[in-house]
Amino acid sequence: MSNTFGHLFRITTFGESHGGAVGVIIDGCPPAHKIDLAKVQAFLDRRRPGQSHLASPRNEKDRVECLSGLVNGITLGTPITLVVRNEDVKKDHYSDLTEVYRPSHADYTTDLKYGVKAPSGGGRASARETIGRVAGAAVAEQILQALIPDLRVVACVDRVKDVQATISAKITRAQVDEHPLRCPDKAAQASMENLILDAQKQGDSVGGSIVCFIYNCPGGLGEPVFDKLEADLAKAMMSLPASKGFEIGSGFEGTYLYGSQHNDAFVVRDGKIRTASNRSGGIQGGISNGETISVRVGFKPVATIFKEQDSVDRSGQEQKIKPAAGRHDPCVLPRAVPMVEAMAILCVIDHFLRQKAIAHTKGVERL
């Protein structure tokens, strides 16, 4: 297993969905910063199930506790440990599933690799695993705001199944959070909502996509050739449960254009070098150029559905499987919005620290 993300700002997450606790150690956090745990809690609350009729009715309080790294709310530079106890664990929901592999879940591959079939709801393959990531990012964001006051990381639902929203150039988290769908396109909300409720009624699930913008990201972040900023963003997003696709800037759509249509001309605006268009998505040659960074992530319909499916049990016998109606989201997208933001924030802060090492050791030769 590999549960650490980042090079200089590193999070290590832990915890099974239905074990004792989940959480994170943040190592490499800059010292002498004020951290407000209420803001960490607020970020976690956005990820939490049970926020609306569109999400799982599980009532996870998810109260965060800090075990180390802060004195009077100030970072010491030592590892910050944040823990969330698992409270609403009803083990019997899972008891009938323990010997049959759930289709398109991680049960089978987990057994294949580790030789264990966790009775704990999939263990680390649960969306609950992301609590550690979000908690880590909630600390990172406060540091970033102190260092780069204008920076904003905002994601929103872009599409639910085949209902495509129109997302304006500049959105805020407040706008996104106005509606439990976390899609700021008011015109699309009703159709999206119907789709989800319909799927839920039928014991089915739907997927879609999320866009994420990083506004006012400083230029110069990214470490070619392998740790290009978009490469690390891709890895970050594709490590999220249920993600199936990643795009930077113009993405796959841009591959339908001619080079002359796709290139971003350089212009001078307000005395600064800028690009006229932004099909590059704020990153060129793996390095941020100061324009808005935009990524899109596709999430499959969640694998947990309440219909009978063909499967196989641990002994290799074919079996039907039909979960009792349980506590799962018919659509993961609204809750995935803060997860996507979290991964973007973690990429930015890590590359920001890495860039500092270069920026402050650069020579003065002209080439």
Task: Note whether 41 binds a copy of itself by CB under 8 A.
Answer: no
Contact pick of 56, 81, 189, 294 for a copy of itself (by CB under 8 A): 81
Task: Note whether 123 binds a copy of itself by CB under 8 A.
Answer: yes
Contact pick of 300, 322, 326, 327 for a copy of itself (by CB under 8 A): 300
- Identify residue 253 by its one-letter amino acid code: E
Residue 52 tokens, joined: 């609306």
Contact pick of 62, 153, 179, 288 for a copy of itself (by CB under 8 A): 288
Task: Note whether 286 binds a copy of itself by CB under 8 A.
Answer: yes
In the window 324-363, what residues touch a copy of itself (CB under 8 A)?
352-363
Contact pick of 41, 51, 52, 68 for a copy of itself (by CB under 8 A): 68
| Cβ at position 139, least distance to a copy of itself in Å | 12
Task: Note whether 226 binds a copy of itself by CB under 8 A.
Answer: yes
Q: Which is nearer to a copy of itself, 52 or 278 (CB)?
A: 278
- Calpha distance 264→290 (Å, rounded): 13
In the window 200-219, what residues touch a copy of itself (CB under 8 A)?
204-209, 219
Task: Note whether 97 binds a copy of itself by CB under 8 A.
Answer: no
Site string for a copy of itself, 134-153 (x = CB under 8 A): ---------x--xx------
Task: Note whether 12 binds a copy of itself by CB under 8 A.
Answer: yes
Q: Which is nearer to a copy of itself, 73 or 172 (CB)?
A: 73
Q: Which is nearer to a copy of itself, 150 or 310 (CB)?
A: 310
Torsion of Cα atoms, 242 then 350 then 142 then 52, to 10° = 0
Beta carbons within 8 Å of 74's beta carbon, 6+ residues apart = 32, 33, 34, 35
Beta bridge partners of 212: 155, 295
- Calpha distance 200→180 (Å, rounded): 16
- b/e per residue 185-203 (b: at least 16 CB within 10 A): beebbeebbebbeebbeee
| Cβ at position 152, least distance to a copy of itself in Å | 19
Task: Note whether 4 binds a copy of itself by CB under 8 A.
Answer: yes
Strands (E), 37-182: 64-68, 70-71, 74-75, 80-85, 152-160, 163-164
Task: Note whether 251 binds a copy of itself by CB under 8 A.
Answer: yes
Site string for a copy of itself, 180-199 (x = CB under 8 A): -------------------x
Contact pick of 49, 121, 122, 338 for a copy of itself (by CB under 8 A): 122
- Calpha distance 12→85 (Å, rounded): 17
- Calpha distance 296→190 (Å, rounded): 22
Q: Which is nearer to a copy of itself, 286 or 326 (CB)?
A: 286
Beta carbons of 44 and 135 less than 8 angstroms apart: yes
Task: Note whether 225 binds a copy of itself by CB under 8 A.
Answer: yes
Task: Note whether 154 binds a copy of itself by CB under 8 A.
Answer: no
Beta carbons within 8 Å of 324's beta carbon, 6+ residues apart = 93, 96, 306
Contact pick of 94, 213, 215, 299 for a copy of itself (by CB under 8 A): 299
Cis amide prior to 225 (ω within 30 degrees): yes
| Cβ at position 34, least distance to a copy of itself in Å | 5
Placement of tokens 């930077």 in the chain = 248
Q: What is the CA radius of gyration of the chain?
A: 21
| Cβ at position 206, least distance to a copy of itself in Å | 6
Beta carbons within 8 Å of 83's beta carbon, 6+ residues apart = 21, 22, 23, 64, 65, 66, 67
